[in-house]
Structure 1
Amino acid sequence: MKAPTLSGLFGRKQDASPPPDIEAAALRSDRFRLAREGDWQRLDTIVTAMEENRLRRLSDDDVLALPALYRTTASSLAVARETSLDSATIAYLESLVQRAWFQVYGPRQGFVRWLGGFLGGGLSRAIREIWPEILVALAVMVAGVATGWLLVSGDQDWYFSLVPSQFADTRVPGASRAVLMESLSTADSAGGLSGFAAYLFQNNASVSILAFALGFAFGIPTLMILLKEMATLGAMLWLFSTRGLTLDFAAWLSVHGTTELFAILLAGAAGLHVGRSMAFPGGRSIMAAAAESGRRAAIVMAGVVMMLIVAALLEGFARQLVGDTLERLAIGGSMLVIWCAYFFAFRRVPPGAER
């Protein structure tokens, strides 16, 4: 439905003289309109140009005047409603105020543009801003691997406490080299692997989300989750090392692990970032500190979800179809290089920051 226009609303001629009360109301409406329609027309012109992406035709004065014109027109609408001016004037002002509100306060970009900014520098910038937490999370994860290795090497019963039952089928202490090697073999085809990929994504996503969500408790639960998850990896690494399959296991794991573990690392770091800001808010209130760090962590978690999808595809397909150790290492190593380059070397300059 086409929005009302000033010429259509206020340029009508009356064929007969109206009753005195109607004539008085019309006169009052005309005076109200004539005193303000210059601002309305200017706002209409500015908003129309913005809606048609003709910003270059607007002067600096027009752009600076937009908020004030919007408030003035909104005030006129309130007065028009309060004094029961003619319905045509109210309808025009309602349409104009709605259009102007969208230009002044509405979203400044659509999803495609947001996604371009997110992938084009927003995500990598957010990750670089939490680098202290990334280092802490990385240290805890390395310590978790070492802890799992040492516990199981000292007492093999720890293996069954650390490794979930679905992973401890044939991969248990005492298993032969042939049995362990078989567990690293490829599938015959890609059939049925999509379901496996979906399961892995769900499992890895739950760990990452939990590590992030518990960060509000000053990051302590997050550290415990990272330690526990990596202790499982340390226990399995010890098992395969006892049969001389350390490199084969590392290659098998690297196909998806460099992406998956990186995602879990970032999720844990995001949780620690929120927890640290709440424990040490500085000159801000705890709520303000949590809100600021939460916005940054949310961007990181959006990237974590993206990485987990990639990891699930790699784990459900590439790892199951590529059996050569060197090829697996090449895939895993390439993914690690890509992620590191994207997160830490890619530094897009925001528009307007050039000098």
Structure 2
Amino acid sequence: MSVVAGRNDAAIAAAALRSDRFRIEREADWKRLEDILDRMERGRISRLADEDLLELPVLYRTVASSLSVARETSLDAATLAYLETLVQRAWFLVYGPRTSLLGWLRRFFGGEWSRSVRAIWPEILVALILMVAGTAVGWLLCAADPQWYYSLVPGQFLDVRQPGASREVLLGTLFGNQDQPQLSVMAAYLFNNNAGVAITCFALGFAFGVPPILLLIQNTTPLGAMLWLYNGQGLTLDLIGWISIHGTTELFAILLAGASGLHIGRSMAFPGDLSVLDAAAKAGQRASVVMAGVLIMMAIAGLLEGFARQLIDNTPARLAVGYGILAFWVVYFFLFRRVPPASEAI
């Protein structure tokens, strides 16, 4: 028994000696790297000497190599924990993201978003055709049988806005609502609803683009039904003005979301020289940039629908605001063409 204990003590002593020797031979590099990292993490990069900055990646690789050796030779847990922490800190500073939130916003709004939108222009054209077709289908179905109106229009619009309503009643739904209460609650509801439609169009694009096609048609048939209803009383332009304040942004956002889903679906159906997964990943990266902007547009549309539409109470002003915003989006997406650095290209 004593022989076994003696052998164990000898093994422990040998391991401790090996660990000490390993640390002594390499500790100078570890401490130098740790000192550089401490100064960088405290925001003192400007005070670092040029040789320190140049040596940082070399020291990182040296310490990473030490960690690899330490793991293979089963050195003591304290040394392993110290090296793992040091390597993680160094990796973040050498290879980790350096862009601040402000920098990301500057890059996103400064060309990345608009460039991604232009890259999916064929799908945008197809999505636009589908939305126009959905609107036409809603109109034609109601013109053929007014009972279709009740199936196509959401329940919250089935108050007095129904087939057979007089011109005065329909006018009352478009004007004179400046004092409508709980506008902020309505804005939040509209944002959640519209953002859900947009995200669904995008998310289901992986089913080879078929669900976005159906969703784009389905979500524009109510617009056609309402246009049919108000047209019967000669209020088409007034309804367009009522919708345009928020609708030019909201419908544009749904258009982009549907186009993003179609873009992913097309890339999977026709991957070209890439595998299906690689094609989907590449298309998804571009479409995700578009979708980040879509959520911003939906938030803007929700605010416009919950506030501006009621506060601006005449058709010419509504048309001016709505189509002025639409002109801004068109100019931003298709005429704003800042050339990106090579590292930012999508």
TM-score, scaled to structure 2: 0.84
The residue type equivalent to 1:84 in the other structure is L
* Structure 1 runs not aligned, ≥5 long: 1-19
Cross-structure match for 2:305: 315
Give the alignment's Cα RMSD to 1 decimal: 3.0
Cross-structure match for 1:209: 199
Conserved in 2, the CA contact under 8 Å of 1:190 and 1:321? Answer: no
Match of 2:162 among 158, 165, 172: 172
The residue type equivalent to 1:266 in the other structure is L
Conserved in 2, the CA contact under 8 Å of 1:186 and 1:319? Answer: no
Secondary structure in 1 matching 2:155: coil
CA distance in 2, matches of 1:142, 1:231: 9
Conserved in 1, the CA contact under 8 Å of 2:271 and 2:279? Answer: yes
Matched, 1:350 2:314: no
Match of 1:54 among 45, 55, 59: 45
Cross-structure match for 2:153: 163
Query: CA separation of 1:249/1:77 partners in 2, compared to 1, >3 Å: closer, same or farther?
Result: same
Query: CA separation of 1:34/1:336 partners in 2, compared to 1, >3 Å: closer, same or farther?
Result: same
Relative to structure 2, which stretch is displaced further, 156-165 or 72-81?
Answer: 72-81
C-alpha displacement at 1:221, in angstroms? 1.5
Q: How does 1:237-256 map to 2 (within 5 A)?
A: 237-256=227-246
Match of 2:255 among 265, 275, 280: 265
C-alpha displacement at 1:177, in angstroms? 0.8
Conserved in 1, the CA contact under 8 Å of 2:230 and 2:236? Answer: yes
Match of 2:120 among 110, 130, 133: 130
Cross-structure match for 2:319: 329
* Structure 2 runs not aligned, ≥5 long: 1-9
The residue type equivalent to 2:278 in the other structure is A
CA distance in 2, matches of 1:157, 1:58: 79
Conserved in 1, the CA contact under 8 Å of 2:176 and 2:313? Answer: yes
Conserved in 2, the CA contact under 8 Å of 1:136 and 1:269? Answer: yes
Conserved in 2, the CA contact under 8 Å of 1:205 and 1:308? Answer: yes
Query: CA separation of 1:79/1:339 partners in 2, compared to 1, >3 Å: closer, same or farther?
Result: same
Matched, 1:302 2:292: yes
CA distance in 2, matches of 1:23, 1:36: 20
The residue type equivalent to 1:260 in the other structure is E
Q: How does 1:179-190 map to 2 (within 5 A)?
A: 179-189=169-179
C-alpha displacement at 1:129, in angstroms? 1.3
Cross-structure match for 1:8: none
Conserved in 1, the CA contact under 8 Å of 2:175 and 2:314? Answer: no
Match of 2:267 among 274, 277, 283: 277
Conserved in 2, the CA contact under 8 Å of 1:190 and 1:317? Answer: no
Match of 1:72 among 52, 55, 62: 62
C-alpha displacement at 1:125, in angstroms? 1.7
Describe the superposition over 1:143-181 as per-residue Cα deviations: whole angstroms up to 9, x where unpaired. Answer: 111222222222222222222232132122221111111
Query: CA separation of 1:200/1:24 partners in 2, compared to 1, >3 Å: closer, same or farther?
Result: closer
Secondary structure in 1 matching 2:174: coil
C-alpha displacement at 1:315, in angstroms? 0.5
Conserved in 1, the CA contact under 8 Å of 2:19 and 2:75? Answer: no
Query: CA separation of 1:60/1:232 partners in 2, compared to 1, >3 Å: closer, same or farther?
Result: farther
Match of 1:84 among 56, 75, 80: 75
Query: CA separation of 1:199/1:67 partners in 2, compared to 1, >3 Å: closer, same or farther?
Result: same
C-alpha displacement at 1:70, in angstroms? 2.0
Secondary structure in 2 matching 1:171: coil
Describe the superposition over 1:71-116 as per-residue Cα deviations: whole angstroms up to 9, x where unpaired. Answer: 32122134346453695x6665444323212113433323333233
C-alpha displacement at 1:273, in angstroms? 0.8
Query: CA separation of 1:330/1:30 partners in 2, compared to 1, >3 Å: closer, same or farther?
Result: same
C-alpha displacement at 1:126, in angstroms? 1.5
C-alpha displacement at 1:27, in angstroms? 7.2
C-alpha displacement at 1:32, in angstroms? 3.6
Relative to structure 2, which stretch is displaced further, 181-190 or 264-273?
Answer: 181-190
CA distance in 1, matches of 2:313, 2:331: 27
Relative to structure 2, which stretch is displaced further, 340-349 or 137-146?
Answer: 340-349
Q: How many residues align?
A: 333
Query: CA separation of 1:98/1:215 partners in 2, compared to 1, >3 Å: closer, same or farther?
Result: closer
Relative to structure 2, which stretch is displaced further, 219-228 or 117-126?
Answer: 117-126
The residue type equivalent to 2:260 in the other structure is A
The residue type equivalent to 1:54 in the other structure is I
Query: CA separation of 1:45/1:294 partners in 2, compared to 1, >3 Å: closer, same or farther?
Result: same
The residue type equivalent to 1:232 in the other structure is P
CA distance in 1, matches of 2:142, 2:30: 77
TM-score, scaled to structure 1: 0.82
Secondary structure in 2 matching 1:313: helix
CA distance in 1, matches of 2:159, 2:16: 87
CA distance in 2, matches of 1:23, 1:210: 64
Query: CA separation of 1:188/1:30 partners in 2, compared to 1, >3 Å: closer, same or farther?
Result: closer
Matched, 1:100 2:100: no
| Percent identity of paired positions between Structure 1 and Structure 2 | 59
C-alpha displacement at 1:314, in angstroms? 0.5
Conserved in 2, the CA contact under 8 Å of 1:26 and 1:86? Answer: no
CA distance in 1, matches of 2:80, 2:212: 56
